[in-house]
Amino acid sequence: MTTYYTDQHEWIRVEGDEGTVGITGHATEQLGDVVFVETPSAGKVLKKGDEAAVVESVKAASEVYAPVGGTVTAANEDLSGDPAKVNAAPEGDGWFFKIKIADKAELSQLMTEDKYKEFVAGL
């Protein structure tokens, strides 16, 4: 299992040809308390960079983009009733959706955890 990061603060944890996608702890710190999450439906086909989900907080609404292209296989339905899970465990139970990755080569365009930490430190 390997986790990759985008410069928009999404993460994707890859196992085989499926990835679990969410937003980073840094993103949740910037957003504040999450009050609403809209996740994509299973079966939705996304291209890398497509708007995949929406997260609303007390401060702002933000889009969550697909870090890679593929087909959504599951959405985290728990977030509709408990959006605070995103704040409590952004890289755990606060995941947004799972995606069957169309082209694993797209992962090479993402950051490793160390590179992401360097990126955030430079902000």
User: Is 108 strand, coil or helix?
Assistant: helix
Q: What is the pTM of this model?
A: 0.96
pLDDT of res. 67: 98
pLDDT along the chain (123 residues), means of 10: 97 98 97 96 98 95 97 97 97 98 98 97 95
Count H helices, E strands: the chain? 4, 9
Name the DSSP class of 95: -
pLDDT of res. 41: 96
CATH number of 2-121: 2.40.50.100
Q: Where are the domains of the chain?
A: 2-121
pLDDT of res. 25: 97
Q: What is the mean pLDDT of the chain?
A: 97
